[in-house]
Chain A
């Protein structure tokens, strides 16, 4: 007689546990590598020794001078930590959006977060020249954050006005409308202030090079909260996979779930965008790659996206800081370079499947 729960669940569970462990190990290695490599600072092999030295109860002489360590701790570490947070956030937000809208090509910028944040940043750059140097708080991340949220709010409002059903297709269309309008306004503002074009362009490409511990502290609560809420919804995203009607017939309040997931994902994405600009492709590449490894169930895709997204961005940041040494390559350029071949690969895989 088959014992209940013998056959199906546990084996899948152990495989996922194994994969999570491997991913976590990979993340640790990636973080370590990220802290070891850079255009200046201590020799790479001394860094882990000094890290060990900094642990309580361990004293080891690594030969790293205080100035060199300062570079690692004040400049490199925040960057790596930010890459972990932003990479994880964008990936899980992308995966969640794909679940909520049942469309694999959706990324976290779908509903207008990117355009709104871009407009906010542009406005700050144009004002900055005259007014804002002496403000208490840095207006740039604030404006980007608020801009992103306002844009998504507008998308929701427009979606509701034009369709009582509040279907996902309506929201996507509304998002496109808001993005187009916001981008048009941004272009207009830039046209009238084209001395800041370079700065805005630079911001839009996305960068981790300006990361400080302050940035990390700023977005940590948002990212943690957002990831937490999204993880809690992973089983529900699986239910959504059979469509709105069937999910409703199975007892789910689809509007509430959709709203909550979109809100949480947007909050986290807006925070990430506020400090790192518009880093593209992460929200699409990582979830899809994760699906190829662990299958399409969101119960596995969401947590794995968090881990793999972090790994991806930490590793992508390394060429970003050493390729064009002594300048920086904006990380958005690096992820874009991965993006194009990734999609070609995806096309090929799907062609073989079909």
Chain B
């Protein structure tokens, strides 16, 4: 009887698991491409960067962080990557690998199954580094950057570790140049308005937002934009604002970072109760951002900067 009930459980369980697998999210790859030269340069190993030392050039890299996947491909280490996590949806070559490791619930055995000589993560969900080190697998941890400088540092560290330091340095200086140019171009638009431009940055459709202390908040600060969420809740950099507060603060611009997760568009925003009379809605200054680009601190941050710059130009033109 016990055996039968165990078999019963197993059966029920398998059905449920199948259901579970069927309902998992699907990824969408974005269309934009970043073109970078791939050079294989002579680098002297062993190399120490980012807190770890590698004795030889890593040829079997596993990345569990979508941001760092983008960095690796951008600095020309794409051929050295053998597996990425389920959320690494850019660039297309990464998706083409067909691997779907998990960065949040990592299965160490599966990771080890790829025989990696370098694993790149953005956070340790618990003992992951210890477990990988027990298998003599070096782990590079690139915590969420809180500034552009940190982002550049991580790109260059990965460059050093993978043997593409020159490409990495080239990339970061290019990024810096592009960003500075975009900011400079818009400073004209920003000052033309007279008063500082306020904005609301929407993380999801329940009005979670970010303050200027966050990475993406700092990008906006470069343009002199003012975040309506600053100072609302001391100590909380990801507050949830109420609809009333947002409407009463009446930001001039709204940036939607929930276009992919929550299907928000300027149309859906404009039909929200009480939002119709807002400046941003009336003047149609609602900017759609790609969720992924807005949440990562890799090379595509330049695109984010350009989106903001373009949007500012429109605002200026509208006035």
A contacting B, Cβ–Cβ less than 8 Å: yes
Residues in chain A within 8 A of chain B (CB atoms): 38-41, 67, 70-71, 74-76, 140, 191-195, 198-199, 202-203, 207, 209-215, 289, 293, 319, 321, 323-330, 334, 337-338, 341-342, 345
19 new A-B contacts, CB < 8 A, other than A71-B109, A75-B112, A327-B104, are A40-B113, A41-B109, A41-B112, A191-B240, A193-B236, A198-B104, A210-B125, A215-B127, A289-B2, A321-B109, A326-B101, A326-B110, A327-B86, A327-B100, A327-B102, A329-B17, A329-B105, A337-B9, A338-B9
Residue of B5, B17, B135, B239 touching A74 (CB-CB under 8 A): B135
B131 pairs with A212, CB closer than 8 A = yes
Q: Once bound together, how far apart are the Cα atoms of A330 and B110, in whole Å?
A: 15
Q: Once bound together, how far apart are the Cα atoms of A213 and B112, in whole Å?
A: 17
CB distance from A347 to the nearest CB of B (A): 14
Q: Once bound together, how far apart are the Cα atoms of A41 and B12, in whole Å?
A: 28
Q: Which residue of A lies closest to B141 (CB)?
A: A133
Q: Mark B226-248, 1 if CB is under 8 A from A, else 0.
A: 00000001011111100000000
B128 pairs with A210, CB closer than 8 A = yes
B126 CB–A CB distance under 8 Å: yes
B107 pairs with A321, CB closer than 8 A = yes
Q: Once bound together, how far apart are the Cα atoms of A199 and B13, in whole Å?
A: 25
Q: Which residue of A lies closest to B134 (CB)?
A: A74
Residues of B near A338 (CB, < 8 A) are 9, 13
Residue of A39, A212, A321 touching B130 (CB-CB under 8 A): A212
B8 CB–A CB distance under 8 Å: yes
B16 pairs with A337, CB closer than 8 A = yes
B1-48 interface (Cβ within 8 A of A): 2, 5, 8-9, 12-13, 16-17, 20-21
Q: Once bound together, how far apart are the Cα atoms of A210 and B102, in whole Å?
A: 13
Question: In terms of DSSP, what is the predominant structure of the interface of chain B?
Answer: mixed
B230-278 interface (Cβ within 8 A of A): 233, 235-240
Q: Once bound together, how far apart are the Cα atoms of A207 and B131, in whole Å?
A: 14
Residues of A near B127 (CB, < 8 A) are 210-212, 215
Residues of A near B2 (CB, < 8 A) are 289, 293
Residue of A39, A210, A293 touching B126 (CB-CB under 8 A): A210
Q: Once bound together, how far apart are the Cα atoms of A202 and B123, in whole Å?
A: 14
B21 pairs with A75, CB closer than 8 A = no
Residue of A70, A193, A194, A325 touching B107 (CB-CB under 8 A): A325
A70-B135 CB under 8 A given contacts A194-B208, A210-B128, A345-B5: yes
Q: Once bound together, how far apart are the Cα atoms of A327 and B100, in whole Å?
A: 8
